Amino acid sequence: MPHATERTFRDRWQTGARIAGLAAALVTASFTLGCTTQPTSGPDEFSTSRPVKLAPPSGESAETRITLAAVDETELRKAIERYRIKLEREESPVKTAGVDLTGDGQPEALVLFTGADWCVTTGCSFIVFRESETGYEAVSRTTRVRGPVKVGPGSNAGWRDLIVKTGGGAAPIRFVRLGFSGNGYPRNALLQPAPTEDVLAQATDVIPEVPFQASKPQASSAR
């Protein structure tokens, strides 16, 4: 039978070993936690533009960046030519962009005419085309539009708002918001309301500001 002093020494040694083991385990756990949950700071180096809100499907919410999409240039040129002949207008340089305005994954074609037969002092004809089984079809035409053309964060009737410049001559040049209705975007940009500073800040450029050739000031049509 072990002496009482020996038992006491052995019990103390075993207790000390258990405490040392527990301390080592805590140190290891703390080191592992520090390595795996270290917070990150600073801006996302891969993000080059602020996200803007899409018009999300009903009942959902989403944020995404506006990106330009490819359009069928051959079919779009055919549609532009058909539209020009329909309006009996002269040929014109155009600026185009493909953007999904409805969130269905199919880009609409935005076309800004800059030729004299399509423009007046306050701006030019701006057409939104949508692709169909028979080619591109005009959804709406807005007159008195200047670049830049921007896509805004809001939407109406399932279509994204557009922000454009308008004005010139006696009318001050300013940004206005084009909201979609069941019949398309507004016909006359000059009569539309200005966007708020917040909306303008969130809008994304899709067609740049470009020079255009204005027809005679006394022309009766807004072109």
Confirm whether 43 is domain-assigned. Answer: no
Query: Could you tell me if residue 45 is inside a domain?
Result: no
Q: Which pLDDT does position 18 carry in this prediction? A: 54
pLDDT at position 217: 57
Q: Is residue 222 part of a domain?
A: no
191 located within any domain:
yes
Q: With left for phi above 0 and alpha for psi between -120 and 50, is residue 59 left, alpha or beta? A: left
**Rounded distance between C-alpha atoms, residue 177 and residue 210, angstroms:** 19
Q: Quick one: DSSP state of residue 188? A: B
Low pLDDT (below 50) residues in the chain: 4-9, 13, 17, 19-20, 22-64, 218, 220
Please name the residues in contact with 223: beta carbons below 8 A apart, sequence gap of 6 or more: 117, 118, 119, 120, 124, 125, 143, 215
Domain assignment present for 154: yes
User: What local confidence, expressed as pLDDT, does residue 223 receive?
Assistant: 75
pLDDT of residue 14: 53
In a domain, 212, yes or no: no
Q: Is residue 1 part of a domain?
A: no
How far, in whole angstroms, is CA 62 from its chain's centroid?
12
Secondary structure element (H or E) that encloses residue 6, with its range: helix 4-36
Q: What is the span of the domain harbouring residue 67? A: 52-207
Return the pLDDT at 5.
Answer: 47
Give me the number of domains the chain comprises.
1
- CA–CA separation, 98 vs 75, rounded Å? 13
